[in-house]
Amino acid sequence: MSATLARLVTFVELNAGHSTARQLSVDARLEAELSDGRRVVLLDDRGWTMSAGGADVRAFLTVEDIEADARTVVGPDEPVEGETHAEMAAAHWGALAALLARQGVTVSGPQLERARHDVELSPRLRHWIS
């Protein structure tokens, strides 16, 4: 029997070279965790930077904020001219499903979109925001 999708996991790591008290920069990697324990990298080119003007960004930043932003940045992009949010979402999740199919995992785009999606912050990032 082939492996099935157990969950999606986005790992968020501090980009220390670009982070200061006034600016947080992170890298995000989306993986599919399979029922047999394997993990398949789906996206490894995502991340974001946020700042608080002149204030310390950690004064208002929460783990929940980072988790929400992580799910957004590994999700579908904003629609380009002539496309809808639904079309962009279908293309995004369909492309990720095709990537998994090449690894022998059968899952549809809509199933991926509805899958459990956890976010894990690296110990270094957790320490930085505390």
Query: Would you state the pLDDT for residue 72?
Result: 97
Query: Would you state the pLDDT for residue 70?
Result: 98
Query: Cα–Cα distances in Å, from 89 out to 84, 124, 125?
Result: 9, 32, 29
Q: Which residues are within 8 A (CB) of 23 and not within 5 positions of it... i.e. 6 or more apart?
A: 49, 50, 51, 52, 57
pTM listed for this prediction: 0.91
Provide the terminal-to-terminal Cα distance of the chain, rounded to the nearest Å. 44
Query: Would you state the pLDDT for residue 1?
Result: 59
Q: How high is the mean pLDDT in each 10-residue block of the chain (130 residues)?
A: 91 94 95 96 96 86 95 95 95 98 95 98 95
Taking the C-alpha atoms of residue 29 and residue 19, their distance in angstroms, rounded to an integer, is: 18
Segments making up each domain of the chain, as ranges: 5-77+116-129
Query: Would you state the pLDDT for residue 15?
Result: 95
Position 49, amino acid: T
